[in-house]
Amino acid sequence: MCPASPAKGNDRGFIIPIGGGEDRVKEMKIHRKFVELSGGADAYIVVIPTASMLDETGEDYNRIFSSLGAGKVDFLPITRRSDCENPEFAQMLDSATGIFITGGNQLRLSAILGGTLLVTKIRRQNAAGVPVAGTSAGASIMSEHMVAGGQGNESPAEGAVTLSPGIGLTNAVIIDQHFTQRNRLGRLLTASSFNPFLIGLGIDEDTAAFIDPNDVLEVVGSGTVTVVDASKVTHSSMWDAKPGEALSLLGLRLDVLGEGCRYDLKARVAYPPDAHLALCALPVTSV
């Protein structure tokens, strides 16, 4: 499932995977920036709480975004596939200036939304410039290939991760969330070993990767984004590994990005925060 193509001369909207557990009470940096990108006082944010089994999830995010100055916020009470055929919901997405997908169970999310008109509309809206954010399960489903399951706290091994189709906002990365908190490096490395084209993004809680129209991401939040680049792998044992067998992966590159760091997904190059770059540019004086 490929991303929709922007119209000639237009930029696609930001893609914003969040690692879950984001600050919803104090500074709310991630939500605040999302509201700004969505238009602030002129924003119309549509929340999709389908992954959650909690009835209050949609209302909670309505309250959060409204408190941060969003002009209008609605949520789509989608709990079964037939809900995706509701023309009112389609019209709401067509009018949205920001779309937010909540956390919960990513397989519930993909089983209900996958292959529907609403998913097509989300991709088209993003291609038309509308920012789309997703937290936890909502982050995982953004990519073409979605991490659907697998145990944390394990070494890379055959069978350590289960993949399924996502909604295809991007086909350049594969995303895992609650990354450091649930020790998921092993399963992200395993996922990256399947095809070195994909860049693995391991996103901590209360942390987001704001991926701009030029495929340069910036880290916002209190944790880190771990970037796994397998494009220069010189050897992988994945192709003939037996179930449960530990993998050999030689030549991997791994970057750990804190707040303000950026990563160019096309060039596969990481950059420190602008403030650090400015310090590096200062002339050295003798004492």
> Which amino acid is present at 150?
G
- d(CA 263, CA 277) in angstroms, rounded, equals 14
Residue 256: which residues within 8 A CB-CB, separation 6 or more? 224, 225, 226, 227
- 193 φ/ψ angles, rounded to the nearest 5 degrees: -75, -20
Interhelix angle 29-38/57-67, rounded to 10 degrees, is: 80
Question: Which of these is catalytic: 136, 140, 143, 236?
Answer: 136
Q: What three-state secondary structure class fits 113? A: helix
Would you say the C-alpha torsion 63, 64, 67, 68 has a positive or negative sign?
Answer: negative
Q: What three-state secondary structure class fits 105? A: coil
31 is catalytic: no
The Cα diameter of the chain in Å comes to 73
End-to-end CA, the chain? 60
Dihedral, 233, 237, 239, 241 alpha carbons, nearest 10: -160
Question: Which of these is catalytic: 144, 154, 158, 205?
Answer: 154
154 is catalytic: yes
136 is catalytic: yes
How is residue 264 annotated by DSSP? E
Question: Which of these is catalytic: 143, 178, 192, 205?
Answer: 178
The tokens for 147 are 């991490």
Q: What three-state secondary structure class fits 259? A: coil
- d(CA 100, CA 262) in angstroms, rounded, equals 22
Query: Active-site residue numbers?
Result: 136, 154, 178
